[in-house]
Amino acid sequence: MIELDLRVLRSFIEIARSKSFTKAAARLNLSQPRLSVRMREFEASLGFAVFRRDARTVELTPEGAKLFDPIARCVAQADKTEAALHDAGAEFRQRLQIGASPLFSVERWQIMERFAVAHPEARPRIMIAPSPEIFAALRDGALDLGFTASQGAGDLERLTLWKSAYGLILKADSPLAAHSVIEPATLKGLMIETFPREAIAGLHADVTGLLRPFGVALVDMIEGCSEAIAHRVLRGDGIVLSPRWWRSPENAPTGIVHRMVRGIDETLDFDLVRSKKLQSPAARRLWAMLSAEAATH
């Protein structure tokens, strides 16, 4: 059985087109003796000559002429395949598929803006989804990284960027905002939105056990993104038990405050999460950038 070597096939096509070993060798960036040896080995493997050589020119033998079209098609297809592989490699090098929790959006935007300045060649795409969906997509390889606000990463590798304490998100002019720490008894009869049980089961159980004896009505949060929470609170539609999603004072929403509730000591980690599967170079660069920043805090 004859093994197909693309270098040999390309050499055959180049010699046949240029009708010269010297010209073909120059185009292939080979020495003329090396090209001659390559063709003699090719002819030996076939058992017949493919070129007729004389002092002035090189011509295909009848057998070589029969091989020209199929070899030319093979080489052309190989070139297309190499181009496709190169494009796929370039796409993988630039790929940055990110899942993002709807919380901490302002901080996440700032992170991605810094990364874009440092690595403009990357092509990030962000999918907004609850943390459990992000974990599943990371395990399946559909995502490279995830910005998550949860404690359920399990087998995934986590880089904790910062921790955020739970408390009440209130309008700044609410009477409750006058207290630095709110006593649960002062919440009697109020309706408070919190994360659904399936989102963070342990926290939901702790909050329920603490507040329900005081007559607090707990309802599932309508939408868990920071912008939606701020809008509802500012509109006066409710009080929300949530982590403080702004990390720095300059990112705090106007007209909103965050107050701790005595007895609720839980924090939520804002993590960058990845699986142990193959990572794109862009994903590795973002992980390295945030690892270095986390180490300095």
> Confidence band (pLDDT; 50, 70, 90) for 250?
confident
Token readout for 193 is: 């939105």
CA distance 103 to 244: 9
Rounded average pLDDT over 260-286:
85
Does pLDDT of 2 surpass 90? no
In this prediction, residue 89 carries a pLDDT of 58
In this prediction, residue 275 carries a pLDDT of 85
Rounded average pLDDT over 170-199:
86
pLDDT tens digits, 283-295? 888 999 999 988 7
Phi then psi for residue 272, to 5 deg, are -100, 130
In this prediction, residue 208 carries a pLDDT of 81
Query: Which residues are bridge partners to 256 per DSSP?
Result: 171
Does pLDDT of 273 surpass 90? yes
CA distance 109 to 124: 12
157-171 vs 239-243, strand pairing mode: antiparallel
pLDDT tens digits, 125-136? 899 888 888 888
pLDDT over 90 for what percent of the chain? 19
Question: Which residue segments constitute the domains of the chain, with CATH numbers given?
Answer: 6-92 (1.10.10.10), 94-160+269-296 (3.40.190.10), 165-266 (3.40.190.10)
CA distance 38 to 213: 88
In this prediction, residue 105 carries a pLDDT of 81
pLDDT tens digits, 32-73? 889 899 989 888 888 899 999 887 788 999 998 999 999 999
* Pairwise pLDDT comparison (264 vs 88), residue with the higher score: 264
pLDDT tens digits, 3-22? 678 888 989 999 999 998 88
> Confidence band (pLDDT; 50, 70, 90) for 212?
confident
- The set of residues, in sequence order, having a beta carbon less than 8 Å from that of 267 and lying 6+ positions away, is 163, 164, 165, 166, 243
Of 98-107, 148-157, 161-170, 254-263, give the lowest mean pLDDT range: 148-157
Does pLDDT of 106 surpass 60? yes
- The set of residues, in sequence order, having a beta carbon less than 8 Å from that of 153 and lying 6+ positions away, is 135, 271, 273
* Closest by Cα among 26, 71, 24, 66 to 49: 66
- The set of residues, in sequence order, having a beta carbon less than 8 Å from that of 275 and lying 6+ positions away, is 138, 139, 141, 156, 157
